[in-house]
Amino acid sequence: MSVKKTLEFLRRPGEARPDVEDVAGEATIFGTTDVGCLRERNEDQFVVARLERSVLVEQCGYAGNDGTRHVDHPVGRLMMVADGMGGQVSGDVASAVVVDAMLQYAFSMLPWLRMSSAADERALAEGLTKAVQRSHERMQEVARRKGLTGDMGSTLTMGYLVWPMLYLVHVGDSRAYLLRGGELFRLTRDHNLAEEMVRMKVMSEEEARSSRFASVLTNCVSTSTPNEELRVELHQVELKREDKVLLCTDGLYGEVPDADIKGRLMHVVRPDLVAPCVESLVALARENGGSDNITAVLGYF
């Protein structure tokens, strides 16, 4: 086949994409954040993003192809929450630094990884870990440049979806939940002292909810944590249609028991119910005290 005929075969006016099922692209994902009832400022951050590989043909030597965008589908989707710590001066800076670092990594690398082999998944795991470590270094740089004193840090819980796989990266005590078949599963551990005490059977999960040790983090992206001590928790989950994935900060789950979270998620049976569900969970956290910033991102697949 000649070069000209090959080009004519590939040319499609408007937007060109492979004819494949795009579950990730069609998934409904919605997030929101609220300052809560007691805090003066919001130190939480969240992100919902769409990642795709594309080429926009600005000019072309054969007729009718100018302006065509070739898009590689299915797309990837990104869900992220971060809870900053550092008081009035720098908690919001800390969470913003972490989110920005992960977005830069996502922009530069994730659309080009295909997850078609174990080597690709190893590259992703290594890349996500290095991106979190880079956010740690970046936070220290920002603190020095801005003259911020004292410790500042942030949690991070991020999901990268390339259907049907969800890749989770987690540091701190924000959470990822999965609702499947009427059962609610917690996908991440809380990196705080209360959770450590639960694992050592020193206290129950119910006692941990109200324990003062729940606010003592044992692992987070922080200016005071040496890079070699930062532990990045990674998970890989194969999703199914009708699954729901919730990412949230402790301002939500600290005020809303898992049973109530499950009950609200159970009512999400259509895409248009995703946003109202998230907003109702945030409202319930406020009704129950709203002692911290409240952030949630929900994906319905």
Among all chains, which residue has been given the structure tokens 């080597």?
119
Virtual CA dihedral for 209, 211, 213, 215, nearest 10 degrees? 60
Name beta bridge partners: 32: 296
Using an 8 Å Cβ cutoff, are 30 and 244 in contact? no
What DSSP character marks residue 181? Answer: T
Q: Which burial class, exposed, middle or buried, applies to 150 when counting CB atoms under 10 A from its CB (0-12, 13-18, 19+)? A: exposed
Which residue type occupies 212? Answer: R
Structural domains in the chain, sorted by start = 15-187+234-300 (3.60.40.10)
Cα three-residue angle 258-174-294, rounded to 5 degrees? 75
29-88 pLDDT, tens per residue? 999 999 999 999 999 999 999 988 777 888 777 666 667 777 776 678 999 999 998 765
User: How many helices (H) and strands (E) would you count in the chain?
Assistant: 9, 13
Among all chains, which residue has been given the structure tokens 């440049």?
145
Mean pLDDT of 296-300: 98
Q: Of 3, 10, 17, give the one whose Cα is nearest residue 64.
A: 10
Alpha helix (H) residue ranges in the chain: 3-10, 23-26, 87-108, 118-146, 193-199, 205-210, 250-253, 258-266, 274-287
In angstroms, what CA-CA distances link 74 with 9, 125, 205? 21, 21, 40
Residue 187 token pair: 């996908």
Q: Highest-confidence range of 16-30, 42-56, 141-155, 287-301, by mean pLDDT?
A: 287-301
78-96 pLDDT, tens per residue? 999 999 987 656 899 999 9
Residue 230 token pair: 């930062």
How far apart (Å, rounded) are the C-alpha atoms in residues 179 and 164?
15
100-152 pLDDT, tens per residue? 999 998 888 775 666 666 777 888 888 899 999 999 899 989 888 888 877 88
- Percentage of residues of the chain with pLDDT beyond 90: 51
Phi and psi at 192, nearest 5°, equal -135, 170
- What pLDDT sits at residue 149? 75
Cα 267 vs. chain centroid, distance in angstroms? 23
Name beta bridge partners: 183: 180
Mean pLDDT of 215-239: 85
Q: How many CB atoms lie within 10 A of CB 207?
A: 14
Strand 165-171 relative to strand 15-16, pairing: unpaired
